[in-house]
Chains A and B, each alone.
Chain A
């Protein structure tokens, strides 16, 4: 057996020679007729039975195999006159330019040819790139010669008239394919070598077709419609066209028709053979079906996204996968994924029967395919696959199980599966989850894993794949588990962490004013299955009471110290000392939260250097995931207890605040009018590099943007941290000050392409304004808030700005998608070698050290070997005070 084993060492591409085409052909195709009146394929037509089996049950007229075994056989067509193969036009052009029209030698002196050949042979294997540039140099040099160094003939300029006509200017004029074929076949092998052509497999005269291979029927099957009519493949249609054109040409030649007629028919044959190969050639009319649909010919089958290469060879479809809508489930573990029963009973895991699991396996087989947890197939030691749907006696089969059998059982809780959301832009787009089989029809996932997938629940769907071997499962669990991806390699911080309600919940729980009774404490601790002791109450009288900080502290390890500012610590709530009244400096000493609140910069996702980040770095990802499971449940339970809603009232600001905001806007208006006045009187100084009009627009835009921000903050300063909208913005849970401004105070300037709205209008945007009016309201400044409501004119401007946003996102996604494709195609074979160099698959060095410092951002303290500041806080933070 071993000696007959064969290995592929390499693949070499060449051109089929007419001799080979005739040799592999099983029949010459001679007639354009396809079927006779009985619908039976005619011998010598393009559907000749010798080209392969069409109907099941039939035996091949050539090889005697049935449909399943017969690979199909080529036929051939002798063309009356040769035509140019459109795929080789550029090569032919190069050869005609580089060789002499008279002696057909390459236009390089004999001794140079030998010198170049020796150099080329030396370079070819070791320096393929250099060899290519040498060839390019020789080609150019040969093309430039005005006189043939061999026969001293004067050289003509060769012109290529797209798509496939060659003109010899000053010489014979139009070069016909038979002339070119003669010319090319006269070029000696030695000359071809220095032009970079492998004459063994690609003699240039083979680039001119005089024998056309007819592909097997299996390549172009005809379809039988319900009406009983036969519909032929596009390639078959095109082949019939070629044969018909060929017949006509043959007839014309034989009957001695005038040269112009022969030439026209030759041209027609050239057209048909060209479009048979590629139907999307520039400058060539597209060959169409009767319905007007362009024919899909050979090149169209291979090219493009759905072509053979990208669609079938690089892109494969897989079994053992599922896809459905996703929905949130905060009760899951972050490493879990909720899988519907229906999915769990369709996807299977092959499990080998062993003495240790045989009882379980018997149970699965007994449950069968329709009861979870069951099994769908059993494979016996001989490799026979039994479909349990059709097994009459499951009991007997279960009894008969013994080691050596394989049971394809349903997905059960704890199985490792891969979970993916497109577009898969980074490695966190595919992560391994542990299965949790649940009722319902959607995949469920924990909210904290939304950021890495960039998922939300407005109808998003995700894919699930079941690894089928132990190795794959082990790899998925060790490398791909969600837990292992809490830290992102992009910036070293956690990409999985608190979002939205987890943040506002954490804030509410750890507020200074949150006092919990024993009942509340018990409730909270019960939700996280806390089994330790309840700490000393912070308040003893009149009733025992605990603070939220105390409860949260139970989740922090005893040795943990941390001091850091919270997101709230800015502006009027800035804290830089432990004694600070505003309680916005987070102080954790020996695992106890002594001051500060929990907000986005403490437990948020995509927040490096946060308390959460250090917890993971110092206590590991396993701890990190358990911390999240518990802390987030705690926060949600508390936010449920406390209640957290927003109403219209929360975005209403007082009369006083509005007056203040109005004043700011009025001032900005008068500033803008002053600018316009300066512009009109010519007093405005242009900004360097800008025209006067541009300067004015920039100054106005600046003034109005400043006005909006100032008006916003003037009003927001009246809001208190009891206002849920403000809490969300301030803690980083959702929304920003800008959002609040737009809801309660004013929308501000609307823009299209970064400019005030004027583009595409003549003089004025709407007939309500005077032509040339440059005032804020005429160019899209919206002074109303969403609360107050927009005037009709404002709605118009706002929708113009809104439309641009929509168009932008649509355009951006397609552009970034294509950019990603190109980037990945360039980088996908690079890898980090064990010596920490980055290499290509050929072993070429790309980076001498990965990232120049060989550092994995996930595993270091922000690129440095030691984070001294953190080490100090970590160890003696408990006795430091700020």
Chain B
């Protein structure tokens, strides 16, 4: 079939079993996280604004994304990503 609909699939990736929960942080939340971790934003791991998940969340370069995922060692683990251009 020729009519594969890429937009449809892209909008559904968050529902996939293996894609952990992503949240876009507000300015205040982001500042709080940075203060807690004691880092500058660019010292966080990066995620491209063109990443499918970032696009879905509407993240702009400079934003911070929180990832909540299942972990084999601790049950739930939280990570952060700094959105960069690209």
Contacts and interface: CB of A to CB of B under 8 A. Distances in A.
A835 B74 CA distance: 17
A7 interface: no
Interface residues of B, number: 17
A845 B86 CA distance: 21
A863 B43 CA distance: 29
Contacts of B37: 835, 837, 845, 848
Interface in A813-869: 835, 837, 842-846, 848-849, 851-853, 855, 863
Contacts of A130: 84-85
A853 B74 CA distance: 5
Given A843-B43, A845-B43, 8 more contacts: A844-B43, A845-B45, A846-B45, A848-B78, A849-B77, A852-B71, A852-B77, A863-B73
Contacts of B77: 848-849, 852-853
B73 A848 contact: no
Nearest 10 CB-CB pairings of A with B: A853-B74, A852-B77, A853-B73, A852-B71, A844-B43, A852-B74, A852-B73, A848-B79, A843-B43, A851-B73
Nearest to B85: A130
Nearest to A851: B73
B61 to A, nearest CB: 10
Contacts of A845: 37, 39, 43-45, 80
A127 B42 contact: yes
A855 B73 contact: yes
5 contacts: A127-B42, A844-B43, A848-B79, A851-B73, A851-B74
Nearest to B45: A845
Contacts of A126: 42
Interface string A391-413: 00000000000000000000000
Interface string B43-86: 11100000000000000000000000001011001111000111
B38 interface: yes
Nearest to B74: A853
Contacts of A848: 37, 77-80
Contacts, number: 42
A867 to B, nearest CB: 16
A130 B49 CA distance: 13
B13 to A, nearest CB: 23
Nearest to A134: B85
Interface in B19-37: 37
B60 to A, nearest CB: 15
B71 A853 contact: yes
A130 B38 CA distance: 22
A311 to B, nearest CB: 34
Nearest to B72: A852
A428 B81 CA distance: 35
Contacts of B84: 130
B43 A849 contact: no
Contacts of A133: 86
A531 B3 CA distance: 87
A835 B43 contact: no
A752 to B, nearest CB: 37
A370 B86 CA distance: 72
A148 B44 CA distance: 41
Contacts of A855: 73-74
Contacts of B71: 852-853
A835 B39 CA distance: 12
Contacts of B38: 835
A299 B83 CA distance: 41
A840 to B, nearest CB: 9
Contacts of B78: 848
Interface in A98-130: 126-127, 130
B49 to A, nearest CB: 12
A848 B65 CA distance: 14
A852 to B, nearest CB: 4
Nearest to B73: A853
Nearest to A850: B73
Contacts of B39: 843-845
A843 B34 CA distance: 13
Interface string A125-168: 01100100100000000000000000000000000000000000
A470 to B, nearest CB: 34
Contacts of A127: 42
Nearest to B36: A835
Interface in A56-103: none
Contacts of B85: 130
Contacts of B42: 126-127
Nearest to B39: A845
Given A130-B84, A837-B37, A848-B79, A842 B43 contact: yes
A620 B41 CA distance: 43
A852 B68 CA distance: 12
A372 B74 CA distance: 56
Nearest to A853: B74
Nearest to A127: B42
Nearest to A843: B43
A126 B73 CA distance: 35
A843 B43 CA distance: 7
A271 B74 CA distance: 61
A165 B28 CA distance: 58
B45 to A, nearest CB: 7
B74 A849 contact: yes
A857 to B, nearest CB: 10
A380 B6 CA distance: 82
A863 to B, nearest CB: 6
Residue of A842, A846, A852, A853 with most chain B CB atoms under a 10 A cut-off = A852
A846 B43 CA distance: 9
Contacts of A843: 39, 43
A842 B74 CA distance: 27
A363 to B, nearest CB: 55
Contacts of A846: 45
Contacts of B79: 848
A569 to B, nearest CB: 30
Interface in A545-586: none
Interface in A33-72: none
